[in-house]
């Protein structure tokens, strides 16, 4: 007998498709929800049944907690998986599911509230004995801010007490810019999270962003599946992730894992979660806890041979969490974002051509299809390319090869930036930090030319409705840069 009869997936895109696939393997029916903009989306087609949830804007659809719960009740769902984003870290929604007798496949409202407030989370982490970045945990006013920053020493970092995604963050290197940065951080936090509280931390220089994947059951058992290195970021949002981290010792890995599990026990955590740390010069510090499944979870799955969504469903049904086996090999994930690689602005349009990579150790978690409209309503991420290999050099080579095979025509993507990162000496050495993208010479002028050319070719092919497939990577030497490869696109196109 399946653990649940029917699960509603309160999300969209690749993560909805990801949950549907695991549920199908477990013999569980799935209910998808969709907005006006997602009527033709893949997750709608693959679920057992689909229900219209509302308009194209998130507030009219995927963020409408009342409507989502109504659909879950109407369709007879006994569990609900929130994915990530939208309602996944909404304590009130978790509470409403419990009240309706529907199992929320995630932590309870108390844990979400405790960890969702960054100031409260720091207090709990301190109680659990988890190392903290020096700072002021309490909410601060302008007078306390100036005195606190002077005591900590510059540079310092201002951070929103609620939310995430890089919003409400300001790095300040000297006192003259402190108050202005404080006002801007509060305004951004207010707009993004309806909460203008900001706290102060000492800025850790040359940090690496390292996180621990945990899983906890309803019986008080907590396990972890090692760490993920997430230091390749733009605007405090991750672009390339890998596991294991190339600089952690086994002793330090164990300490970080124990700290993460201790924090989860402190708040009575259930389900999948991630405890994020900053690592610098042999020390690690608590950053925050994400009370949900992370975008980058597939690389952990590849190295540990585990299905984390399946584990979420199992522990949600009351079963004991399974002990993880040893990690094997190395895995890398590249996020596929529909955005201009020259400035990271979202790119809208229709996917006119799509060529997917394959071969040993290559996985694509995506809901892309030819003819798909990329709209302005949702996050720019279209999917994730994941590779797994015996060791780090082989994983990097495999990822570069898979990126060369991946072709998306019609919208601009961030893939050229990922390619430049993987090919850089700094990344390949393993000795990098969160400032890596600022140091890599990604050739912004050349990227702009390539972006404009790619868009022009896509529009031409769409307008002429011709079946021409241009592969700029054919015959290219592995050492040749992606920009040079894409430059061949124009020459091939002109010949045709």
Separation of first and last alpha carbons in the chain: 58
Instruction: Give the residue from 72, 66, 116 showing the smallest Cα distance to 90.
Output: 116
Rounded distance between C-alpha atoms, residue 262 and residue 130, angstroms: 8
- Neighbour tally for 373: CB within 10 Å: 14
CB 210 within 8 A of CB 260: no
Helix 482-495 to helix 444-464 angle (10° resolution) is 30
Q: How far apart are CA 203 and CA 156, in angstroms?
A: 4
Q: Beta partners for 111? A: none
Q: How far is CA 85 from the centre of its chain?
A: 9
Inter-residue contact 207 to 278 (CB < 8 Å): yes
Q: Which helix (H) or strand (E) holds 490?
A: helix 482-495
Contact residues for 66 (Cβ-Cβ < 8 A; gap 6+): none
Task: Judge contact between 231 and 436, C-beta under 8 A.
Answer: yes
Report how far Cα 161 is from the mean position of its chain's Cα atoms: 20
- In order, the DSSP letters of 11-61 are --HHHHHHHHHHHHHTT-EEEEEEEGGGTT-HHHHHSSEEEEEE-SSGGGT
Q: Scanning the structure block, which residue is given the tokens 């050492």?
A: 479
Q: Is 113 a catalytic residue?
A: no
4, 27 Cβ separation under 8 angstroms: no
Residue 103 CA from chain centroid, whole number: 24
Tokens of 454: 């790619």
- The C-alpha atoms of residue 105 and residue 273 are separated, in whole angstroms, by 11
Structure tokens at 254: 């164990």
Question: 388, 347, 382, 349: which is closest to 366 by C-alpha?
Answer: 382
Check 292, 314, 447, 489 and give the catalytic one.
Answer: 292
Catalytic residues, by residue number, are 292
């Amino acid at each position: 007998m399946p653990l649940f009869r029917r699960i509603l997936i309160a999300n969209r895109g690749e993560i909805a498709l990801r949950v549907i696939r695991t549920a199908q393997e477990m013999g569980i029916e799935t209910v998808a929800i969709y907005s006006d903009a997602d009527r033709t989306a893949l997750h709608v087609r693959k679920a057992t049944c689909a229900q219209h949830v509302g308009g194209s804007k998130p507030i009219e659809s995927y963020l409408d907690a009342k409507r989502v719960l109504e659909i879950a009740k109407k369709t007879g769902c006994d569990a609900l998986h929130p994915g990530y984003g939208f309602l996944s870290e909404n304590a009130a929604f978790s509470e409403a599911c419990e009240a309706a007798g529907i199992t929320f496949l995630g932590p309870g409202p108390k844990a979400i509230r405790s960890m969702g407030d960054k100031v409260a989370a720091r207090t709990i982490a301190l109680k659990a004995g988890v190392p903290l970045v020096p700072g002021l945990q309490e909410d601060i006013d302008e007078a306390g801010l100036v005195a606190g920053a002077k005591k900590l020493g510059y540079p310092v970092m201002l951070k929103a007490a609620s939310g995430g995604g890089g919003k409400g963050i300001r790095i300040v290197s000297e006192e003259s810019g402190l108050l202005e940065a404080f006002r801007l951080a509060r305004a951004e936090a207010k707009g993004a999270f309806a909460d203008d509280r900001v706290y102060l931390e000492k800025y850790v220089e040359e940090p690496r962003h390292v996180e621990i994947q945990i899983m906890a059951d309803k019986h008080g058992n907590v396990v972890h599946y090692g760490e993920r290195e997430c230091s390749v970021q733009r605007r405090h949002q991750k672009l390339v992730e890998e596991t294991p981290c190339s600089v952690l010792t086994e002793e330090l890995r164990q300490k970080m894992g124990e700290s993460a599990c201790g924090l989860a026990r402190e708040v009575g955590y259930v389900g999948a979660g991630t405890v994020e740390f900053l690592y610098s010069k042999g020390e690690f510090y608590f950053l925050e806890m994400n009370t949900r499944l992370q975008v980058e979870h597939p690389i952990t799955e590849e190295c540990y041979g585990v299905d984390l969504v399946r584990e979420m469903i199992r522990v949600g049904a009351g079963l004991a969490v399974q002990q993880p086996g040893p990690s094997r090999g190395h895995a890398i994930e590249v996020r596929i974002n529909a955005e201009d690689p020259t400035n990271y602005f979202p790119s809208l349009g229709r996917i006119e051509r799509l060529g997917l990579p394959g071969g040993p150790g290559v996985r694509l978690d995506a809901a892309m299809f030819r003819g798909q409209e990329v709209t302005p309503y949702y996050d720019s991420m279209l999917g994730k390319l994941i590779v797994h290999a015996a060791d780090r050099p082989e994983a990097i080579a495999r990822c570069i090869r898979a990126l060369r095979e991946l072709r998306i025509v019609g919208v601009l993507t961030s893939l050229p930036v990922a390619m430049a990162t993987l090919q850089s000496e700094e990344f390949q050495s393993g000795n990098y930090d969160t400032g890596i993208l600022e140091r890599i010479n990604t050739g912004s002028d050349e990227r702009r030319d390539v972006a404009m050319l790619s868009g022009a070719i896509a529009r031409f092919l769409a307008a002429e409705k011709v079946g021409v497939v241009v592969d700029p990577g054919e015959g290219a030497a592995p050492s040749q840069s992606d920009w040079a490869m894409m430059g061949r696109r124009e020459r091939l196109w002109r010949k045709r």
